[in-house]
Structure 1
C-alpha cells in the first residue's frame, strides 16, 4: 500500500505542472494493451480521475478522452472514457486512438534539433542564415498591427531563438492587422485544420518546407531577435534547418531517428487509410454545442500535408506520446535504446531563453502555458519550471507543452513522472481539464492515505 501511495503522489506532483503549462518509418497495426494493464489498471488505481473523465462524457462536454500517466519504468496507467466521435457506433477512445496533437509536435521537433546539436551538426547559437540564407538580412516592423514599415534587425536570428520563440517571428493565430495579412499573403499557414478549409490554405501555402522557410524570411519580425518571447512558427522553420543540417527530409529524420527506435508505431504526418478508423473527430464548440470540424473518416490528415509542419503537424496516440515522454524522463533512453545523451536531454529541458528575456505564458486556447505563480522559463520547444512548486510539486525543471485541440503533455525529470492527456476540440481551454484532473488525482491520493 505504501508503494501505491508513493506512486499516486508522484503522479499528482507531475500533473500539477499541467495546471499551469500548458511518420512513416516503422508502421504496424495498433499494438494490443498487455493483459491486466491499460484501462483496467488505470481505473483501479485512479478511480476519481476515471470518474472525472466519465463525467465529461456523460455531460456531453466531449465525446471521449484518454490520459497516460507514468512513474519511472513501471507500467503506464491509461485512463479513458467515451468514444472518438459522437457518431453512433464510433469506436471507444483507447490508448491507441489517434489524436491531432498540434503544438505538442513542437517538443518532438525540438528534440530532433537537439540530437543534431549533440552531434555537432547544428550549433545552439548558430545564425539561422547558416542553414537558410534567406534569413541573412531581416527587418523588424515598427507598428505591425498598422503597417509593414520596418527597421533593420540589430542581430541575427539564432537556433536558440527558434527553439524558444524569441526570434521575432510570430504566428497567424497570434498576429493581428497588417502583419497577419502579410502572413496570410505569403502563405505562412503551417497547420491542417479540416478538409473543407485546406484547399483555400493551399492556394497560398508553399508546397515545400524549403519554400516555406524562404517565405517566412520575407515577413518583417514582430520584435528584435532575442529580446522578447512571442509564440511563433519558429519550430516549423526549425524543420527546414534539420533537413539542411542532416541531409535528410525533416519528416524522415523524425521517423527514423525518433519514432522507429522508440517503437512509436502510431505517430503520423499522414494517417494511412487503413488506420482512419482510429482517428478521432476534431470538434468546435458553437452556440449549439459540439460541431464536427474535421471528421476522422474524411480528415485532412488522411492526405499528405503541403510539407511536414514541425510546429503542429503530428497525429499520435496516447501510448506513443507517453513513450516519447518516457524517453525524456529516462535521460534519452527507452527500453535499452538510447537516442540522446542525458546531458542533451537536460540541456533541452533547461531554461534556454536569451539573457534578459522572460516567459509570461500564452493564451490557453493555443494549447500553451498560462501565467503561473511559480517562475517559468522556456526550453527546447516547451516551458520549464524554474523553481519547485508548493511542497516541491512539481519539481524544478518540469517541462511540457500542450496542443490547440486540448492535448497536454509534461515530464518531471526529478521525480521521473510524466503525463499525457488526449482530447480533440477547439478552443483548447473550453473546459478546465488540466486543473480538474489535478483535483481528481488529489482525491485519489487522499483515498490511499486513509
Structure 2
C-alpha cells in the first residue's frame, strides 16, 4: 500500500519540543568525528537523541572540495544498535527535486531541451490545458490556459500543476483517484490517510495528469506541485532512457553515488534507517527498515520525492554543485550551466506571496537565496518530508546536509532549525 501524506508532510521546505520518547539506551551513543568544528550544529542534532525525541541524527558538512565532516548521534532505529554514520541510508523525499532539476539541466546543456521550451513539444497531451476559474474549485468550471507549460515552469513549481498533499477538494480527490502521487511512505495503513494506488508508469502518470485542469495559469504563481515528477517523464522521452537509468548513467555512476536510487537492495537493508511518526509521547515506526516499502521497486521513479541515499552520496552531488558542475575531476555540467541551475529561474512576474518561498528565488528544483535573504545570495538547496535537508552556500564555500527520519517534518524543529545552528558555526 502507498500511504498518502498530509498537506505539509511532503512539502520538504528548506528553512534556515516534544515529550520524552521511548528510545533505547543505545540510541544515546555519540560519534564525535567533526563535531568539534561545528559545536552549535553538533549540540543541536545531539539534543534530539538526548531528549529521546529521535532515534538518530546526522550532520555532514564540507568546505570547498575538502574532506567531509560527518558526525551524528543515536542509531538507525529504536530497536537497532547500529549507530548512524555517513553510510546510513535515508529517505530523501523532496531532496530528490534538485537532482531531477540538474538532470534536466544536463539535457539543456546537451541541446536536447530548452529552458523555455513548451513541454507539449515532447508530451503533446499537454498542448491544450485548462485552468480552474477558482483554484481548488470545480473540475468543470475551467478556462483555456493562455500560456503553454514550459520546462522552466516545471523546474520552479510555476506550471500551475497541483499536488495531492497541497490541494483541497475535487482536484485533490482526482489526483488520489488517478494515482497522481508524489511518493510512497509505508506498506502500513495509517489512520486518517486514504490508501491510493499509484499510476503504473511515468507515461501513464503524465497522461492522466494532462487530462486534469491546472490550478493556476502557467508562469503566474509559485505553488508546490508534481512538476518535478512530470519532468522525469520529459527527461526519459527526450533522453530515450528510463528516467531512473538516465540518473544512474549521467549523475550517480559518474559521481560514485553507489547507494542512491529509488529502491534499497536486499544487501543494503542493514544500512537503512527506520522512518517514524512522533505520536502520543512515542515514536511509531511507519516504515520499518526490515519491511520497508523501499525494498520493492516502485511503480514510478518519482522525480519529486522518490530517492533514497546516504550522507556521503548526497554530499557528492552537493560537492559537484559547489564546484560549479565538477568534483574530483568529474564534470557533470559546464560552469555556466551549473550557475544557471542555481540561479533564480522564476518567470518574470510569478508571485511567491503567501507561499513558503515568499521573498526567495527558485532554481532547478531548489530554493535560491537572494541578496535580501538572511544569508545573502548564494544558497541553493531543499529539504525532504522525513526531516532531511541539503544545500550549498556558494558565497561561503560550504556544502551541508542534515539527516533524520520522522514525519511530518514540522513535528519537530530538526529541519526547521538545522540551518540556523549551522550558520552559528559558519559565522563564528
| TM-score, scaled to structure 2 | 0.88
CA distance in 2, matches of 1:134, 1:242: 16
Contact 1:322 1:418 in 2 (8 A): yes
Shift in alpha-carbon separation, 1:126–1:439, aligned structure 2, 3 A = closer
What CA deviation, in whole Å up to 9, does each residue of 1:337-391 have, x standing for no partner? 10100000111111111110133475xxxxxx555xxx3111110111121545x
Q: Which residue of 2 aligns with 1:182?
A: 174
Deviations for 1:308-336, whole angstroms, at most 9, x for unmatched residues? 00000000101111110010000100110
Question: Which SS does the other structure have where 2:276 is aligned?
Answer: strand
> 1:56 matched to which residue of 2?
48
1:142 CA displacement = 1.6
Alpha-carbon distance in 2 for matches of 1:417, 1:395: 14
Matched, 1:228 2:221: yes
Shift of 1:218: 1.0
Cα deviation digits, residues 164-207 of structure 1 (max 9, x gap): 00001010000101111111121111311102259x98964221
Q: Is the 8 A contact 1:228 1:358 kept in 2?
A: yes
1:285 deviation in Å? 1.9
For 1:408 and 1:377, the matched residues in 2 are separated by: 17
Counterpart residue number, 1:272: 265
1:74 and 2:58 equivalent?
no
Matching residue within 69, 77, 81 for 1:85: 77
Instruction: Say if 2:158 is the partner of 1:166.
Output: yes
The reply to whether residue 380 of structure 1 matches residue 361 of structure 2 is no
Is 1:281 aligned to 2:262, yes or no? no
Alpha-carbon separation, structure 1, partners of 2:321 and 2:288: 32
Structure with the largest fraction of helix: 1
Q: What is the root-mean-square deviation in Å for CA atoms of aligned residues?
A: 2.2
Once the two structures are TM-superposed, the CA of residue 146 in structure 1 deviates from its matched residue by 3.6
Counterpart among 35, 41, 48 of residue 43 in structure 1: 35
Q: What is the rounded CA distance, in whole Å, between the counterparts of 2:35 and 2:344 in structure 1?
A: 36
Tell me whether 1:208 sits opposite 2:201 in the alignment: yes
The alignment partner of 1:134 has SS state of helix
3-state SS of 1:229 partner: coil
Alignment of 1:264-343 (within 5 A): 264-343=257-336
What secondary structure sits across from 1:358 in the alignment? coil
Q: Structure 1 residues 352, 196: CA separation in 2 closer, same or farther (over 3 Å shift)?
A: same
Decide which of 122, 128, 133 is 1:142's aligned counterpart: 133
Q: Could you tell me which of 86, 110, 128 is aligned with 2:119?
A: 128
Q: C-alpha offsets along residues 195-234 of structure 1, whole Å, 9 cap, x if unaligned?
A: 2259x98964221111111111111100111111110000
SS state at 1:251 partner: helix
| Runs (4+) off by over 6 Å | 200-203
1:115 maps to 2:106: yes
CA offsets, 1:64-116, max 9 Å, x none? Answer: 011111111221111200011111x3411111100101000000000000000
The answer to whether the Cα contact below 8 Å between 1:330 and 1:416 also exists between their aligned partners in 2 is: no
The residue number in structure 1 matching 2:385 is: 404
**Superimposed CA distance per residue, residues 40-86 of structure 1 (whole angstroms, 9 cap, x where no aligned partner):** 54123223432332221021111101111111122111120001111
CA distance in 2, matches of 1:280, 1:100: 8
SS in 2 for 1:316: strand
Which residue does the alignment assign to 2:188? 196
Counterparts of 2:393 and 2:406 in 1: how far apart (Å)?
A: 26
Structure 1 stretches lacking a partner, 5+ long: 1-16, 21-37, 363-368
* Whole-angstrom distance in 1 between the partners of 2:218 and 2:385: 25
289 and 230 in structure 1: CA distance in 2 versus 1, 3 angstrom threshold: same
Task: Check the 8 A contact 1:405/1:425 in 2, yes or no.
Answer: yes
Structure 2 residue runs without a partner (length 5+): 1-12, 17-29
Q: CA–CA distance in 1 between the matches of 2:136 and 2:257?
A: 42
Indicate which of 398, 402, 416 corresponds to 1:421: 402
Q: Deviations over 1:130-176 (max 9, x none)?
A: 11111011001123434212111111111100000000101000010
Check conservation: 1:98, 1:266, Cα contact below 8 A. Answer: yes
